[in-house]
């Protein structure tokens, strides 16, 4: 139970996409110092492997791995699962709450890594993928944030260094607080799309799924560019194809291509030889794929598990 200090615990590190070896060593140092046993299930190929490994776990550290009812049914001892990263749509929060399992993420730990990727994609697009033709500078241009959490604020910090103007909408942060942090508050989601760059920083929910549609995208000014380091699914993919066809100036910069192969091919075909300029997909989701983010997220997850068991801390607990 939470707050019962000094007991032996088993922590399962279940990562279909493994952490860097150095990050794993640091995670193990934290769990070992608490007297916990770290069991590693890395680069596994079958969900059956996960279902078998979770049976003896008191706690889990995951990345993009799915924790659903099937996993929970096999996890007789599980008390806490921590997603090493900001997003958490791969955890069935209703199922974990129903089982009495606490779910957490590690907000802010990979924020700078994602922010630097945002600007890497922006510069690549603005400079036409370095093909020798004239591009444009980012200074004095505007960027609007849908969601103004840790990652968006890290992007905003870099935007200030580039001399850009920041705008933000977040229904959970008062406008006065957004202004205090240096961005101009925007009253509605639609209002964000009056700016050249719109950067998405929202979780995938029933409300946000496919919510970025043609009507919003067509509102964007000349050179309008959507940046998505959240989830592909928040964008209406069929509408995106239509926007590419209707507007030769529109750009989409996304951290990982759509899972739907047909959608990916349709978008790529719509931009033709402008792929890598108007349309950028990373080879895999890599916003947090830096050595530093690996360390930060993994160690934070381990520390949160120890604090949960030893001190009863639930600061980063998630609710369905």
Record: fold of 132-276: Rossmann fold (3.40.50)
Residue 90 near residue 83 (C-beta atoms within 8 A): yes
Render pLDDT for 42-51 as a digit per residue (tens, 0 to 9): 999 999 999 9
Q: What is the mean pLDDT of residues 169-184?
A: 97
207-240 CB burial, b ≥16 within 10 A, e <16: ebeebbeeebbeebeeebbbbbbbbbbbbbbebb
CA–CA separation, 124 vs 285, rounded Å?
17
Can you say whether the dihedral through the CA atoms of 178, 180, 181, 183 is positive or negative?
positive
Domain positions in the chain are 9-109+290-311, 132-276
CA neighbor of 225 nearest in space, from 112, 86, 124, 113 = 124
Contact, 42 vs 298, CB < 8 A?
no
pLDDT tens-digit series, residues 275-313: 999 999 999 888 888 999 989 999 999 999 999 999 999
Render the burial of 7-17: b for 16+ CB within 10 Å, e for the rest: eebbbbbbbbe
Q: Is 132-276 the same fold as 9-109+290-311?
A: yes
pTM for this model (two decimals): 0.87
On whether the CB atoms of residues 257 and 276 are closer than 8 A, the answer is no
Give residue-wise pLDDT tens across range 84-137: 998 898 999 999 999 999 999 999 999 999 999 999 999 999 999 999 999 999
Is domain 9-109+290-311 given the CATH code 3.40.50.720 in the classification?
yes
């Amino acid at each position: 139970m939470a707050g019962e200090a000094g007991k032996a615990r088993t922590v399962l590190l279940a990562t279909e996409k493994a952490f860097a070896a150095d990050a794993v060593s640091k995670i193990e140092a934290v769990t070992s110092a608490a007297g916990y046993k770290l069991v590693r299930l890395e680069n596994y190929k079958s969900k059956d492997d996960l279902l078998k490994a979770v049976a003896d776990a008191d706690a889990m550290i995951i990345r993009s791995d799915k924790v659903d009812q099937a996993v929970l049914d096999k996890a007789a001892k599980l008390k806490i699962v921590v997603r090493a990263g900001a997003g958490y749509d791969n955890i069935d929060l209703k199922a974990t709450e129903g089982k009495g399992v606490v779910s957490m993420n590690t907000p802010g730990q990979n924020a700078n890594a994602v922010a630097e990727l945002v600007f890497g994609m922006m510069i690549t697009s603005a400079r036409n993928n370095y093909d020798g033709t004239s591009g444009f500078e980012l200074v004095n241009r505007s960027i609007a944030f849908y969601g103004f959490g840790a990652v968006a604020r890290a992007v905003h910090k870099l935007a200030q260094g580039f001399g850009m103007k920041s705008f933000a909408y977040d229904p959970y942060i008062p406008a006065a607080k957004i202004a205090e942090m240096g961005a101009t508050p925007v009253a509605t989601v639609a209002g964000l799309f009056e700016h050249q760059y719109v950067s998405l920083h929202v979780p995938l929910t029933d409300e946000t799924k496919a919510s970025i549609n043609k009507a919003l995208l067509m509102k964007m000014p000349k050179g309008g560019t959507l940046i998505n380091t959240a989830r592909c699914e928040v964008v209406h993919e069929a509408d995106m194809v239509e926007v590419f066809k209707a507007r030769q100036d529109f750009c989409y910069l996304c951290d990982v291509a759509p899972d739907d192969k047909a959608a990916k091919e349709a978008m790529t075909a719509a931009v033709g030889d402008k792929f890598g300029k108007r349309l950028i997909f990373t080879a895999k989701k890599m916003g947090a794929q830096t050595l530093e983010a690996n360390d930060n997220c993994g160690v934070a997850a381990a520390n949160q598990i120890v604090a949960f068991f030893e001190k009863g801390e639930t600061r980063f607990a998630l609710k369905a």
